Amino acid sequence: MPGRNRSWTHDEVVLALQLYLREGVVSLERARPLSEELRAWPIEGHFAANPSFRNEQSVRSKLYNLQWLETNGARGRAKAGAQTEAVWREFGADLDRVDAAAVEIREALATVHRSGGVAEDEYETDESGIRLVAHRRRERDADVPRRKRAQVKRLTGALACEACGFDSDAAWGVEGIVECHHLIPVSELEPGETTKLADVRLLCPNCHRLVHSRSRWLTWEELLACVR
């Protein structure tokens, strides 16, 4: 939906925090570079059809939110949001750590741009928002979605949902309408931990949405109980 908006994600807040720690609450003109950077991200790009999405005023408001957190409410604007508060708890005013995280975020985005973009089912999404860097680190060199599809096709002869059994090829003559779901959320991975094909399931869009319909994702067993 082009006019829809969404909350700030972890990685977006990190870049805003970097700007805030370096320059404070900047003018709209100084907020423009970050605004343009965020609007160009290859993540749910349809949001950028809305002129207010991560525009200069939106960036500046986020800087005021960060100021409110830094000053314990003495200055800035309240209602920063859970994600912004979580990033502040994670980094605080430690500019060195924020700079390092920002470099990693931008490197991950550069990888996405070089590869021509990333399919929507390659992102890990939960109520805390998309964390591109964590996911790209997880998928790096492994190409898990492609390999998982190849494995399932080789073993079963089809690309059907592993939960409910829906096969888009059999139903509609269009093969492969399935998405990769990671059984272990990104937030629970240990540093350096990789994803095995056994950690991934192919789900139809309906089952994938069902998994994420609660703040605590459904386990694989709970999903099977629902659909069967």
* Average pLDDT rounded to a whole number, residues 133-162: 74
**b/e per residue, 169-200, with b = 16+ CB within 10 A?**
eeeeeeeebbbbbbeeebeebeeeeebeeebb
* Average pLDDT rounded to a whole number, residues 149-171: 92
* Range name among 126-135, 161-170, 204-213 with the lowest pLDDT average: 126-135
Strand bridging mode 200-203 / 179-182: antiparallel
CATH architecture for segment(s) 141-227 = Orthogonal Bundle (1.10)
Share of the chain above pLDDT 90, in %: 43
Does pTM surpass 0.75? no
Mean pLDDT, the chain, as a whole number? 80
Higher pLDDT: 162 or 142? It is 162
Q: Residues spanned by CATH 1.10.30 within the chain?
A: 141-227
* Range name among 84-88, 144-148, 201-205, 212-216 with the lowest pLDDT average: 212-216
* Range name among 114-123, 153-162, 219-228 with the lowest pLDDT average: 114-123
Closest CA to 34 of 61, 3, 70, 74: 61
pLDDT tops 90 at residue 92: yes
Q: Are 148 and 128 in contact (CB under 8 A)?
A: no
Q: How far is it, in rounded angstroms, from Cα 161 to Cα 151?
A: 13
Could you read off the pLDDT of 16-32 as tens digits, one per residue?
Answer: 999 999 999 999 999 99
Share of the chain above pLDDT 70, in %: 75
Residue 131's pLDDT is: 54
Q: Are 8 and 53 in contact (CB under 8 A)?
A: no
Residue 160 CB contacts under 8 Å (≥ 6 apart), including other chains? 152, 166, 167, 170, 178, 202
Residue 114's pLDDT is: 58
